[in-house]
A and B are shown apart, each in its own frame.
Chain A
Amino acid sequence: MRQKINFSNTVTDNNYYFDDIEPPLTNKEAMEEASRCLYCYNAPCITACPTHINIPNFIRKISTNNLQGAAESILEENIFGGSCARVCPTEILCEHACVRNTHPESNPVKIGLLQRHAIDNLQGEYPFTRKSDTNKKIAIIGAGPTGISCAHKLAQLGHSIDIFEKESKVGGLNEYGIAAYKLVDNYSELEINKILAIGNINVFTKKTLGENFFLDDLLDQYHAVFIAIGLAKSKKLNIPGELQPNVLDATCFIHTIRQHQVQQNLNGKSAIVIGGGNTAVDVTVQLKKLGAGKVTLAYRRGHQHMSATLKEQQLAQLHDVHKETWFNPVKIAPLTNKKLAVTFDIHIPETPKETVTLTADYVFKAIGQNLSTQPLFKNNQNILSVQQYRIAVNDNYQTSLPGVFAGGDCISKGQDLTVYAVQQGKEAAENIHAYITGN
């Protein structure tokens, strides 16, 4: 069950909107930036993009006043080109590989912003059509980037798709999880509407696998099943005091703020965020933007071990987030003034162990997600093989059960990023197509 988060004790005279953290380029800026691209042969940026967008090609189209063509090049490889342009950690992907990083410029081409410029300026519908009907039906479970990307590719190939989604809206973490300042307003919804316009994709919301239906039901009715349920369960700290009010799940908190256009003022309340990944940083920055007072990011190891990218860490710093490293939480206790006291063991290697206690109004847990443990089969016997706590698949995204495929965050492949989700959905679709058509 999702926790209910209640901010009713905050003052509401001052409301907040989330603006783009990085504003879009103007036409002139885009032209100037595009002219910096060297149009590399066998460009390293293409290899570094998990969806292999032909980056020099789309940038050259921008610089030759062909925004429509640029957008089409992007969407051909990455149907979520619009949201990826906003959420991809480009500093570890395409822009990391850009040859402009080297002397004398030491500044990559702003590929992400150029990608956004092209997609934002696309006129009309997404330019895709369906092949003639194959009369094959595929069930997809989960309407996140993985499921939708797979559905779009399968629709292109002429198949019919039914998507079953637990939530009332589609989009998965694009809708409920990505920091509000990366995907502002209802961008996720608008983008997915354009993607689904290809047709032959039916979406059934509020349908939870393991509650409303089971894999056994689907296997009888569909030629193949694709599982793309992400990681629905937050990890626990397993320390005393974890279950009291105001000890919150980071993802639930983001879920709440993502579903409200206007935000309430946190009015100087303090918070401790436990974790060291991008999600932890996302929470700290969003808290600060909502008017929180002291926000502390507490991570159990050194900053060199944090999985949040350097750019994300700098963003937190810019928002005056306090960072504490080697802080290992051992206990959370309520105080009489309704605050919480969190006790940490400080484990700096080769130094004596210490213990400190920090207090705050809220504690957020951002230590990662796991696969949900809901039963997948009616007889409550989980017979899909699991590997590293995720669904095991082979190179073709096939699970241990014939006809059942899986991809995205819920499998143990690639990184947990939107752009990998899109690529895996696309590749899985090609494999499912091969499986059901026998070639």
Chain B
Amino acid sequence: MSILASNFAGISSPNPFWLASAPPTDKAYNINLAFEAGWGGAVWKTLGEDPHPVNVSSRYSAHHDMYGNLIGINNIELISDRPLATNLSEIRAIKRKWPDRAIVVSIMVPCKEEAWRTMLRKVEDTGADGIELNFGCPHGMPERGMGSAVGQVPELVEQVTAWCKHYTRMPVIVKLTPNITNILQPAHAALRGGADAVSLINTINSITGINLDTFEARPNVDGYTTSGGYCGPAVKPIALNMVSQIARNLDTQGLPISGIGGITTWHDAAEFMVLGAHNVQICTAAMIYGFSIIDELTDGLTQWMRNKGYQALSDFIGIAVPHITDWKYLNLNYKTIANINPDACIGCGRCYAACEDTSHQAIQPSIYKNQKIYSIIEEKCVGCNLCEMVCPEHDCITMIAQENKKPYLNWTQHPNNLMCEKKIEKVTA
């Protein structure tokens, strides 16, 4: 068995890379191509009740960086716009053709027990491996009382999850919306409702830009747009944070997590997994590059696991979680200082502009081998990382941890903290 073999909430797949519920999983044709390319599983594009929704044209818009790379996309597409019966018969055929791959069906119906019961019976009949409850779609569907309108109300999340657990034997994955202040509340609600797992994140409310000649935004539908769902590389930090919150919170710890949001490379995937995701789902990267990236994803993860000596995914899932803690437990006596390698410095002065104007005036111009370069004034450096971040040269600025022999001291113990706790204990998780 491959070292990438995955078991997520009882659903097995040859690797932990699933396609997220979205256009790439809209129909049998796409999913066939994906499985031929080697994807481990797919969450079918969200199914709703008949009559099926209708979509607008155009549907997506882009957020490019200065070099023209796509760092995020926004969409105003609804759930599946094909008849339910068509989707169900294709799901059945795909599962029969690809028994070793995970086929999970995403569902969104109104918050009525009977609606869920009816849909679950139909989906279960296809032989699918599990269901994912779409409580996340931020556009269109919430106006009809579904999607993120449900995901933002923990009571509803719990209620619908409980219905699903009652009416099906399939594993129930609850997909969470990031359009909420505290992700732990819906995650905990899902757990209370009996969810087998959560998946996150769905897309984030967004407008990617305005045309300053027409004053219209994209995606442009006859001169108008609406708030759309944002995803792709730019949302990864938000998703990673939310995944880690659920992984390290005492109430939700151990709940299997399917990590989603901006995953583009094997490296991104590994980061989600060490922060507690048991598998990952990908949408935008597949939409940008096509299905063949699965080869680079699986090969990259395999090579990394080999280098690390890991035999199975379980060897590293969650191992970075203990390194995340609350601010109040950070060591206030830890000190790091920037160091500029004079041989690598090209004298661009970006670090100086950053530190001089906006930080701690800890950088000065200097001369080295007759060249104008910059150097650090160590006494003034607070170790903020800003200069290291703006420096265009690799291995030029490094942050160096200082050996100051001071003991661990956190905010709960600090004299400036008037609520200073008497008991001194080091807490890491």
Please list the residues of chain A having a beta carbon within 8 angstroms of any beta carbon in chain B: 27-28, 39, 41, 56-57, 60-61, 64-66, 68-69, 72-73
The answer to whether B290 and A69 have CB atoms under 8 Å apart is no
Q: How far is the CB of B24 from chain A (nearest CB, A)?
A: 15
Task: Kindly list chain B residues whose C-beta atoms are within 8 Å of the C-beta of A73.
Answer: 299
Tell me if B354 is interfacial: C-beta within 8 Å of chain A: no
Please list the residues of chain B having a beta carbon within 8 angstroms of any beta carbon in chain A: 265-267, 289-290, 292-293, 295-296, 299-300, 302-304, 307, 394
CA distance A68 to B290 in the complex (A): 23
- Besides A64-B265, A64-B266, 6 other A-B contacts (C-beta < 8 A): A41-B290, A64-B296, A66-B266, A66-B296, A72-B299, A73-B299
Q: How far is the CB of B270 from chain A (nearest CB, A)?
A: 11
With A28-B394, A64-B265, A66-B266 as known contacts, state yes or no: A57 contacts B303, CB within 8 Å.
no
CA distance A65 to B296 in the complex (A): 11
Residue contacts A-B, CB under 8 angstroms, 5 given: A60-B293, A64-B300, A65-B267, A66-B304, A69-B299
Q: How far is the CB of B312 from chain A (nearest CB, A)?
A: 19
Task: Kindly list chain B residues whose C-beta atoms are within 8 Å of the C-beta of A28.
Answer: 394
CA distance A69 to B305 in the complex (A): 12
Contact of A66 among B289, B293, B299 (CB under 8 A): B299
The 3 closest A-B pairs by CB, nearest first: A64-B265, A66-B300, A69-B299
Contact of A61 among B289, B292, B300, B394 (CB under 8 A): B300
The answer to whether A69 and B303 have CB atoms under 8 Å apart is yes
Task: Kindly list chain B residues whose C-beta atoms are within 8 Å of the C-beta of A69.
Answer: 296, 299-300, 302-303
The answer to whether A57 and B267 have CB atoms under 8 Å apart is no
The answer to whether B266 and A39 have CB atoms under 8 Å apart is no
With A39-B289, A69-B303 as known contacts, state yes or no: A57 contacts B296, CB within 8 Å.
yes
Q: How far is the CB of B418 from chain A (nearest CB, A)?
A: 47
CA distance A24 to B183 in the complex (A): 48
CA distance A39 to B303 in the complex (A): 21
Q: How far is the CB of A78 from chain B (nearest CB, A)?
A: 17
Q: How far is the CB of B251 from chain A (nearest CB, A)?
A: 36
Closest to B298 in A: A69
CA distance A69 to B302 in the complex (A): 9
Task: Kindly list chain B residues whose C-beta atoms are within 8 Å of the C-beta of A57.
Answer: 292, 295-296
Task: Kindly list chain A residues whose C-beta atoms are within 8 Å of the C-beta of B289.
Answer: 39
Task: Kindly list chain A residues whose C-beta atoms are within 8 Å of the C-beta of B300.
Answer: 61, 64-66, 69
Task: Kindly list chain A residues whose C-beta atoms are within 8 Å of the C-beta of B266.
Answer: 64, 66
Q: How far is the CB of B297 from chain A (nearest CB, A)?
A: 9
Q: How far is the CB of A107 from chain B (nearest CB, A)?
A: 15
Task: Kindly list chain B residues whose C-beta atoms are within 8 Å of the C-beta of A60.
Answer: 293, 296
Q: How far is the CB of B210 from chain A (nearest CB, A)?
A: 27
CA distance A69 to B300 in the complex (A): 7
Q: How far is the CB of B360 from chain A (nearest CB, A)?
A: 29
CA distance A66 to B266 in the complex (A): 9
Task: Kindly list chain A residues whose C-beta atoms are within 8 Å of the C-beta of B295.
Answer: 57
CA distance A69 to B298 in the complex (A): 10
Most buried by A among B302, B303, B304, B307: B303
CA distance A64 to B304 in the complex (A): 11
CA distance A69 to B394 in the complex (A): 23
CA distance A57 to B266 in the complex (A): 13
Q: How far is the CB of B67 from chain A (nearest CB, A)?
A: 9
Closest to A69 in B: B299
CA distance A72 to B302 in the complex (A): 13
Closest to B293 in A: A60
With A66-B266, A66-B303, A69-B303 as known contacts, state yes or no: A61 contacts B290, CB within 8 Å.
no
Closest to A66 in B: B300
CA distance A152 to B128 in the complex (A): 45
Closest to B306 in A: A68
Task: Kindly list chain A residues whose C-beta atoms are within 8 Å of the C-beta of B293.
Answer: 39, 60
CA distance A72 to B296 in the complex (A): 12
Task: Kindly list chain B residues whose C-beta atoms are within 8 Å of the C-beta of A39.
Answer: 289-290, 293
